Amino acid sequence: MKYFDYLEKTKGIHLNSEQKKAVSHGHGAGLVLSTAGSGKTTVITARAGRLIYDGELGKDRILTITFSKLAAREMKTRFNSLFPETNNSQIHFSTIHAFSYRVVRDYYKIIGKTINLLKSNYDVLKNIMAKTYSKEGFYTVSPDEGENLSSKISYVKNLKLTVEDFKTEEIGIKDFEEMYLAYEEYKQKNGLIDFDDMLIICEKIMKENKRISDRFKGFYKYIQLDEAQDTSKIQFDIINHISNGNLFMVGDDDQSIYSFRGSSPQIMLDFKETYKNASIYSLDINYRCDGNTVEAAKNFILKNKSRYPKNITSHKGKKEKPIIKSFLSRRQQSEYVVDQIKKKPDMQTAILYRYNISSVIAAEMLRKNGIEFFIKEDGSKFFNSSVLRDTISFFKLSLDPYDKESFINIYYKCQTFFTKEMSLHVLKSKKNVYDSLIGFPKMDKLRKKNIRSFKYDMNHISKLRPDEALEYIRYDMGYEDYLSRMEKDGRITYSSMFLNVEITKEICRNSENIIGFLSNL
């Protein structure tokens, strides 16, 4: 029985003509342009099954590299359920990091070393940032800043940039080179490597030990790569070291969203140049969405000129036309969604958003209206945002002049012109913040004026509604200027900053006074 007849009769899988072409790909390099909902997972698993069924694999093995552990597990489960009769030991599913870990672990074992993996670098980077930025004053590091620095370090490593490259490459974070070198020194002193180091070490092992890379080329006859658009330079180099030319890449250059980590859809765009005799297949039938939705997405993505041309169509036809609404705020948007749910309470509704913290306003609106809901991701991340934490510090100090922890967090984020020396004096004093400041030994007329002004501002915001108080802090006390400096220095991104301010403002609107705001949180 021919393989595709076998799939249809025993597995109930009916492939279209282009899917069959991709599944039939054997030796050499192949690229599958798989648009959303076009059945890429089916193609990857079905091709692995065909290589075994038709005897092309023989006693050799296939390595399928996925973007995430979840994808690797799902693909392995899918393959095992489809082909339980096959020799599963020939089919390996792994992330690039898990594969690199095994390579480094085995090599280190040979040379008498052990891997000490730094699973989370947040605390290390937080301390480095605080030390770097605290030379002129106290400095508290927000999770957003730590994540931003971590992403940039990952970015330069995945692009294989050297310290010399930092001088020409626009990294966008103030004092990045200093903090990067401090981070590398910390790991070296403590014998640690992080996940990106694992890729670098793995690639170096392959490059400098041809015997090892040749062993993998012999071990895996075929290599399949899922989500090819999210592959970085270092990852692609590792794959090339272990590939004997039978590389099957599946992805969609239109869906590349991890460029901040160093992923490059250009690897896909240059595929024909990299592999001269490569074959390219296009999966352009969407089995998931209504035809009107597919057409809208197709017309939108055409604005991107650096891409493979695709004639995306829907298998379902055109039934329901998308309704596009514009709103002045996320609150209005959430109110509209709640109204639609109330009109059709039995209807299943999915709310999609770009950032996890965007769920906060919608979730609060649903909660207030007694509508049950489930959030897949962790929306509580917002409550660690720097903007909200700063707002809480301003509010707490306005209510309690002895709250020195709040003072230390915000004194340099508004136009007080207080020095680090003054803040240390406040910490040591037993008096309240304002009396402690007045008692600073090196006092002059300007400093007295600034202290009086700061005290007036804090008393004033304690009497305002929370949303009014936030606006006063931003524009009258100079907090907005601080955020602009942070964005300019690359410590936070504009989109993250703007979103955090907007959501904080919306939460402030839910309370009549500052005490109520702090209680509602």
pLDDT score recorded for residue 380: 66
Q: Which helix (H) or strand (E) holds 279?
A: strand 279-283
> Tens-digit pLDDT profile for the chain (521 aa)?
899 999 999 999 999 999 999 999 999 999 999 999 999 999 999 999 999 988 888 888 999 999 899 999 999 999 999 888 877 788 999 999 999 999 999 999 999 998 899 988 989 999 999 999 887 666 778 777 888 899 999 999 999 998 888 777 778 888 999 999 999 999 999 999 999 999 999 999 999 999 999 999 999 999 999 999 999 999 999 999 999 999 999 999 999 888 877 888 899 999 999 998 999 999 999 999 999 999 999 999 999 888 999 999 999 989 888 999 999 988 899 999 999 999 999 999 999 987 777 788 888 889 889 999 988 766 666 677 888 899 999 999 999 999 999 999 999 999 999 998 999 999 999 999 999 999 999 889 999 999 999 999 999 999 999 999 999 999 999 999 999 988 888 887 777 788 888 888 888 888 899 999 998 87
CATH class of 385-520: mainly alpha
Interior CA angle at 175 toward 157 and 152, to 5°? 30
Q: Is 265 exposed, middle or buried (0-12, 13-18, 19+ CB in 10 A)?
A: buried
Query: How would you classify residue 402: left for phi > 0, otherwise alpha for psi between -120 and 50, otherwise beta?
Result: alpha
Token pair recorded at residue 130: 């605080």
Q: Please, which contacts does 295-299 make with residues 24 or more away whose CB atoms are closer than 8 Å?
A: 296/322, 297/36
Q: What pLDDT, on a 0 to 100 scale, did the predictor assign at position 488?
A: 86
**Cross-strand partners of 62:** 91, 222
From CA 174, how far away is CA 76, in angstroms rounded? Answer: 44
Please return the burial class of 324, using the count of CB atoms within 10 Å of its CB with bins 0-12, 13-18 and 19+.
Answer: exposed
* Cα–Cα distance, 358 to 362 (Å, whole number): 8
pLDDT of residue 439: 94
DSSP assignment of 91-149: EEEEEHHHHHHHHHHHHHHHHT----B-S--HHHHHHHHHHHHTSSS--PPPHHHHHHH
103-269-237 Cα angle (round to 5): 15
CB 458 within 8 A of CB 398: yes
In the chain, which segments carry CATH 1.10.486.10?
A: 385-520
Q: Is 485 helix (H, G, I), strand (E, B) or coil?
A: helix
- CATH code for residues 3-101+199-283: 3.40.50.300
The region that residue 248 occupies, defined by phi over 0 for left and psi between -120 and 50 for alpha, beta otherwise, is beta
pTM of the model: 0.84
Domain with CATH 3.40.50.300 in the chain: 3-101+199-283
d(CA 224, CA 93): 9
